[in-house]
Structures are given as structure tokens and as C-alpha cells.
Amino acid sequence: MSSPGLTALGESTRLVPANLPAVFEVLPPPGASIRGSDCVATVLSPSKTKVSARVTHESANGSLRIEFVPSEVGTHIIEASIGGTTLVGGPLIAKVYDSSLIQVTDVNGGVVGQPCQFRVDASAAGEGQLEISINEGEVPNHVQVVGGGRCLVSFTPEQAKPHLIDIKFNGETVIGCPFVCSVADTSRVLLNLTNLELIPVNRPASFHITVSGGGAAELAVSVRGPQGELPVRVTGDIHAGFTAEFTPNHVGAHTINVEYNGYPVQGTPFVAKSYDATKVAVGSVSKGTVGRPVQFTVDAGDAGEGNLEITISAKGHNIPTQVHPQGNAKFAVSFVPAEPCEHIINVSFNKMLVPGCPITVIINGGTTGPQVSLGGPGPLHLPNSLVINHAGGRLEDIEVNVEGPSGHSVPAQVLQTADGVFKAEFVPRVVGEHRVSVTVEGQPTVGSPYSAKVYDVTAIKVKNVNNGTVGKPVVFLVETSQAGPGNLEVTVNGGRVPTSAQAQGQHTYAISFTPREAQNHTVELRFNGQDVPGSPFTCKVRHIPTITPNSPPRAF
């Protein structure tokens, strides 16, 4: 009958730390009396080299104690025998690990409410169990195994305070613990950037930064213009707030970044658009004649983005003006003077007068004889009128003939409204330019025939006025192809929100604005001073949606 052999005392396979004594015990066959020198033990490392082992006899329980110090991570095989009698169940297994070989990387700061991540690499540490806790388990974390003993750990801080990361491997604290993740609350930082929508070049631009709650604050402000980074000067303190100032020197977009303790503040990056009113060119114009269109050009192609305003006045009163986009921010401007006097042209870009303005235009028409005054563009299907001043004249001496755009005759009626003052009226039935001929005592008046422009505000189509998001451009289309000549005016929130218009063809314009507040925005459109059908429009603006992931169960 064969001997029952040696048996292991305790687990035959166990985890063993590197560079520390590893001990296994075996029991001899029942009734056998042996000494430690009777037992032969060999330990084979993962690299197939033998590890020195010492065997002693334990008199207390009669076992044999096998002790060795492993230095190599991995599975070690322990063989033991007495007089040819080997271990029952095969060799003993020591799975050696080394927690000092674990690497923890990418432990950076974080922001309240935003996921933080770091990496743990245990690929060289051997087999074992990894335990991770954040702030002693108060903050849940999620471990994503990426393979090869490596994992990605994430957690979402809810408080602005240091978060301590503790990691254990097989119960041993990993070197470097606790790792510290500084967490900032960027919602403490408030920016006032509303005055930076449009900024002039070569003039200092500034904005205010407030940090609520006091305490330390590390602010970093940068501005990148069309040709690279710009110097930024930041002054102030945590109590009074900070002011950041920079000077744009080129037309175009300037991206403003503000970081608090290394993290972007809500509302940044913010794009400010710089402009140069001195780059707006107004074509030459010096004189004109009553009743005859006076034309000139305005070229804002190199001035950047902004609002172009053109006004023409006579004797302190503004007169109707026609502006026709030619593409690439170039415009043809015309007006029909009704009086022989100086007319003043003012062109401003983002409220700044452009070079050469105001421009004085001398309008001739003679000081004797009948004088004819026409109003601006007139609405379709409503009476359009002109006034004839003829001192001492009689009603029967005045004749007015009106032709529509296609040459058809339009009935006109002449009435005397005062001594020497006559009023002619006609009701247009089609949109477009009407030709008005005026004769007095059979002779045409100075400037006759005159041009009377007719428009139809109901023919304007507004498309795609959709809801918007803070910081994102809202764009909609306005089509005027059937509306006739006139001026289109667009204001958002009473003009407090800047707008821009880009020609998309001869009669279609893309209107855009960028909301900065989460509130309803009122969009008003007028054509020749009349409300466009449907105006005012309402655009609901909301904040950029944020997704807060559900906190996963704590790893391990």
C-alpha cells in the first residue's frame, strides 16, 4: 500500500508580496517522524530560475515550514518531497505581486459637476485585487477595464474641495497615496461680456470678472485674434473683482478664453468681433437736381462685421433713402431730393462716423417757377401723393400723368389745398417704379418726369425664425423679391442685441444675431417703416443643455 504523501496546510495557492518572506507549511504522512533536513523543497520562478528555500520543522504541530523570498512578479511553483514522497494534489503555487509597480497617471484637477478621470496601470504588478476610494468612499467612482491590467477610473465631484484618491492592491496601499484632485467650481466666476459683441480696432476693450465666495482664485485670460495671441492685462483682486483689457489690432474674430484654477469658465470661449469704421469707403457725390435720383456707393467690405446706418437730411429732417445691396458688403444708395437746398449725408458703422462724413450735397432746382415735392416710397393700394408749389397758379393749369412699371396709365387726381399749393394723388395697383410727369401751363416742371417707387410690405417672406441657444448664432431668411424697393430694418430686443445681414442673392438676406441670455428674444422687422407681416417674432433662447451622468456604483 502506498504512502498517502505530504499534504499542504492551508491554501495550496495564495497571493504573496514580492521581496518579503513567503511561507508554506506541509504535513508529513500520519505517524511519520521526520526532521526538516529530511524534506527537499524547490521553488521555481516565472523565469524558470530556482529560488533559494529554507525548510524547518515545527514541533508544535509537526509540520514542515518552507520559506523563501520571491523577487520576481508572477507564478512561483513550489515542489516538496520526503524520500520520494511528494505533495498530494501537486505542487504549491505562490502568485507573487508587487504593489510598488502600480502606476497612477493623469490625476488632474476637476470642475464641480463634470466627470474627472485618471488612469491606473497594474500590468506589471502581478495578480490581485484593486480597491479605489474617493474621499474615503463618499464619492462614487466607476472603473472601466481597458485591458492588460490597465483601467480608467472616473468620478463626478459635487463639491469644490480637494478630492483624495486612495488605491490599494491586495490590501496594500499603493505608493503615492492619497493622490489629490483639486476641484474648482467655475460657476463662482461671473463674466460680463455683453459689451464685446462688436469692438473697434486700435481701441482698448475690457470686461469684468467677478469671483463669488472669496478664497484663492487662479485666473488665466487669453485672447487670440486673426493673427495670433494678443497681450492681455488683468488687474484687480478677489474682493473687488478683476478687469481684463486687450487691444484688437486687426479686423475679425477674437476668441476670449477665461480659465479658473485651470478650467474654462462658463460662457467661454467667447468670440468678439472687431471692426474698423475707417475702412468704410463712401463714393463721391457733390451735387444733384430736385426730382432727380442722386446716387452714390458705400463699400464696407474691409470693415468687418457690424451695422451700417445711412441717413440723408434736408433742413434738419431725414428724407427717404434707398439702399440696394450689391454683395460683399457693398451698397448702392439713392435718394430723390424734393427741395433745392443742402442735403447732408451721414454714414456710420456701428455708431461710428466713417471717413469723410458728413457729406454736403448741393441740390439745384431754381428759385422760380413751380416746385414739385415727392415723398418716399409709397405703399401698394394706398394713395401716393406729390405736392406742387406754384405761386398764383390755377388748378386748370396743372396736369399730372402717372405711368406704371409696364407703361400702363394710372389715374391721378389733382386738388388745390391752399393758395398756390396743389396736391396730386394716385393709387398704385402694382409694385415697382412709377413715372410721374407734371406740366404747368403746358410746360414740364424742373425734374419732370419724376420717379415714384411703390412697395408691398405684405409680399415680404420671413423664413426659419427658430428657437435658439445662448452663445450660438440664430439665423433666419428674409425674402423681398416681390416687395418692391425699400429699406429693411431688423431689431432684436429693441436694438440691444446686435444683428447682421448677409445678402444671399439679389432679394434674399440672411439675418443673424447671437443671444447672450436665456430669455425670449423679440425680433422686429419693418419695411419702409411698416411692420412686416408676423412681426414681432419671438425666438425662445435657452442655455446649452448639460448632461449629468448617473453616478455609477463604487468600484470594488
Which pLDDT score, from 0 to 100, does residue 33 have? 63
Q: What are phi and psi of 493, to 5 degrees?
A: 50, 50
> Which cell numbers in the block locate residue 45?
520562478
- pLDDT tens for 223-235 read 999 999 999 999 9
Among 169, 184, 199, residue at a domain's last position:
184
How many residues would you count in the chain? 556
Q: Domain boundary residue among 62, 78, 97? A: 97
Give me the residues of the chain with pLDDT under 70, please.
1-4, 31-37, 59-60, 213-217, 366-368, 544-556
List, as one string, the DSSP characters of 145-205: EEETTEEEEEE---SSS-EEEEEEETTEEPTTPSEEE-EE-GGGEEEE-GGGSEEETTS-E
Same domain? For 485 and 413 the reply is no
d(CA 331, CA 300): 8
In terms of domains, do 348 and 418 share one?
A: no
Give the residue from 156, 184, 212 where a domain finishes.
184
Identify whether 2 is part of a domain.
no
Q: Let me know whether 359 and 403 are in one domain.
A: no
The domain in which residue 263 lies consists of 189-275
Q: Give the largest Cα separation in the chain, rounded.
A: 153
- Residue indicated by cell numbers 459689451: 195
350: in domain: yes
Q: Identify whether 549 is part of a domain.
A: no
pLDDT for 402 equals 94
264 and 292, same structural domain? no
Regarding whether 202 and 180 lie in a shared domain, the answer is no
Whole-number pLDDT of residue 552: 36
Tens of pLDDT along 496-547? 788 887 777 778 888 888 888 889 999 999 988 889 999 899 999 987 654 3
Q: What's the CATH code of the domain at 119?
A: 2.60.40.10
Is the residue at 161 inside a domain? yes
530, HSE (Cβ side, Cα atoms, 13 Å): 16
In a shared domain, residues 444 and 405 = yes
Rounded Cα gap, residues 291 and 365, in angstroms: 8
C-alpha cell at 399: 396736369
pTM attached to this predicted model: 0.54
Cis omega before residue 536 (within 30°)?
A: yes
Q: Domain tally for the chain?
A: 6
Name residues whose C-beta falls within 8 Å of residue 434's C-beta, 6 or more positions apart in sequence. 384, 402, 403, 404, 405, 410, 426, 428, 451, 452, 453, 454
pLDDT at 555: 32
- Regarding whether 251 and 326 lie in a shared domain, the answer is no
In this structure, is residue 555 part of a structural domain? no
Same-domain status, 204 and 266: yes
248 and 292 housed in the same domain: no
61 plus 104 within the same structural domain: no
**Cell numbers at residue 309, please?**
446706418
